[in-house]
Amino acid sequence: MSAASSRDGDGDHDGGGDAPRSSSSSSSPETFATASLSQSQLDANAALAAQIRASKLVLAPLTRVGTLPFRRLCAELAAEASSSSSSSSSENLMNGIVTVSEMAFARGLARNDLVERARLRRSEIEASEGNCFGVQLATNAVDEGVRAARIAADAGARFVDLNCGCPIHEATRRGLGSALLRSPKKLARLVSGIAEGSPIPLTVKIRLGVTDSSANFEKVVPALIEAGAAAVAIHGRSGEGRYKKAADWKAIERAAAVAAQESPSFAKLRTPIIGNGDILTFFEAQRRIGQTPGISAVMIGRGALIRPWIFAEVKSGGEEWLPTAEERATLIYRRLVLCYKDYLGDDARGEHKSRWFLPSSIDFLNRYRPLPQSVYGGSGEVNDEDDNDLSPLMSRRDDLFDPLLGETLDSLSPLERLLRCPDPESHAAIAAALWRADSDADAVRRLQGVASESLAGWEQRVRDGGLFRSSSGSSSSSRDGDDEEGLGGGEEEGDERSRGRGRGSPGKGTRTRKLAKMKKEAEAGGAAEAVA
């Protein structure tokens, strides 16, 4: 019996109790396991679906950078920008955003691993009405997933999300992440088993397939809906695709169409399909929402890391904000640091722990370029037949300056240049200066001091490593790439800028060791202590 038939009471389930029924799986090659959910589970799924459809915005799970302080910043900015402060529930839903934790290993959660447990924490605003926080799980076993979902529910999560997208070897060799897409039948059994046993809704995040040539999303998406997924987020690339090509929004559109055609439950449950990939500006978000038939919401990852106010721009109805360097330094960078101080403690230990998180965030924040709608709003037309051949704005984030805006290197202030510098040491120095600043003015003063003291050397090193592109050469390759999920032992593996610098500089090995040491320390102390 499917999730939908159960909801409608036209099967053998009367909806009178919370106890899940066992799933059925057919031996026919074309059928998949279906979930039998209790009425309260179906109601919870429907409530989550309504929230996603109203909010339309989901902050993607982002290992290592999508931390509680970062999610808090995004959610607070969005709430502040929302047009009304209505107390009506439906308007609250429209004002809020959906946030997802960093990926937690279900097995680690069940073992009470403190690092995994730390990922369950949500900020106050994520717990407030209108917003909605879920925990992403990596698992391939029903019992493990159900236990983890119960733990997440006890910690206050409104839903759990199954990671079926992580492409890195570390995950796939263990049968996790995108490896789950290899067998849609097994995946459907996994999803129906977890959905039935979980006290909170289960959503699923997928890629188009394991490889481009084996893309099977058209089979997987309807199967997931029948298996009880409360929503399906689709990153428009295959696992092997990493970030090499632009996200395929035509495929996302097809996935939504196929869900409507092939899933008997889809129409009854109105299961949200969430599109994900390459959204960097609010106008791209608006366009994807408005012009991708069948999707209910968009999920934003790197765009939020680079412009944490992107949700605010959408919520305000498209009020563009192109902050100056001073504004970014105070209203974004420093505010993020203050969120970290709240989280980690405003003392030497907190500062020490922050070194694991803040420079990574600043690495993304430093990729901000203005990209005004008046200049770039026409790029990447969604309806074009050859949409996927267009280079998304995401590919422009590494250009140092923008001749289209009349920028030259010399026209940028030292502070602006510091906040665009890709050298990792600059990120650490920015973090240290901001941690010590005791006011916005002090923050700007300290950053200006950092710029006058060290910027020239960092820029030279970056130039030597070939990491600055001086104008608008576009490439959809990315430095976010191979190790996006943060599992593979250091962000440098897939980090284009770091790779470049690594080749050109003798510092890479040392830095890798330093990072590994910091990671160990943070895992032993930082994240774990943040649980308390």
Which residues would be at the binding site for ligand FMN (CB under 6 A)?
60-63, 65, 102-103, 136, 163, 165-166, 205, 235, 276-279, 300-303, 480, 484-486
Interacting residues of 499 by C-beta distance below 8 A, sequence separation 6+: 479, 492
Q: Residue 505 in 3-state DSSP?
A: coil
Burial 344-366 (b: 16+ CB within 10 A, else e): bbeeeebbbbbbbbbbbbbbbbb
- 163 or 198, CB closer to ligand FMN? 163
Catalytic residue among 74, 164, 166, 421: 166
* 273: three-class secondary structure by DSSP: strand
Closest-by-Cβ residue to ligand FMN is 301
Longest dimension (CA), the chain: 73
Q: Give strand ranges (E) for 295-370.
A: 297-300
Compare residues 76 and 480 and give the one whose CB is closer to ligand FMN: 480
CB atoms within 10 A of CB 270: 13
Query: Are 279 and 302 within 8 A, CB to CB?
Result: no
- Helix, strand, coil percentages in the chain from 3-state DSSP, rounded to 5: 50, 10, 40
| Residue 466 φ then ψ, to 5° | 70, 30
Q: Of the two residues 165 and 424, which places its CB atom closer to ligand FMN in the complex?
A: 165
Q: How far is the CB of 443 from ligand FMN (least distance, A)?
A: 25
For residue 249, give both structure tokens. Answer: 């929004």
Which of 261/291 has CB closer to ligand FMN?
291
Of the pair 279, 455, the CB lying nearest ligand FMN is at: 279
In the bound complex, what is the minimum distance in angstroms from residue 428's beta carbon to ligand FMN? 18
Two tokens, residue 106: 């279900």
At closest approach, how far in Å is the CB of 13 from ligand FMN? 32
Q: Please indicate whether residue 166 is annotated as part of the active site.
A: yes
- State the nearest-atom distance from the C-beta of 166 to ligand FMN, in Å: 6
Q: What is the C-alpha separation between 71 and 69, in angstroms, rounded?
A: 6
Which token pair is 380?
Answer: 């990447």
For residue 14, the minimal CB distance to ligand FMN (Å) is 36
Residues tagged active-site: 166
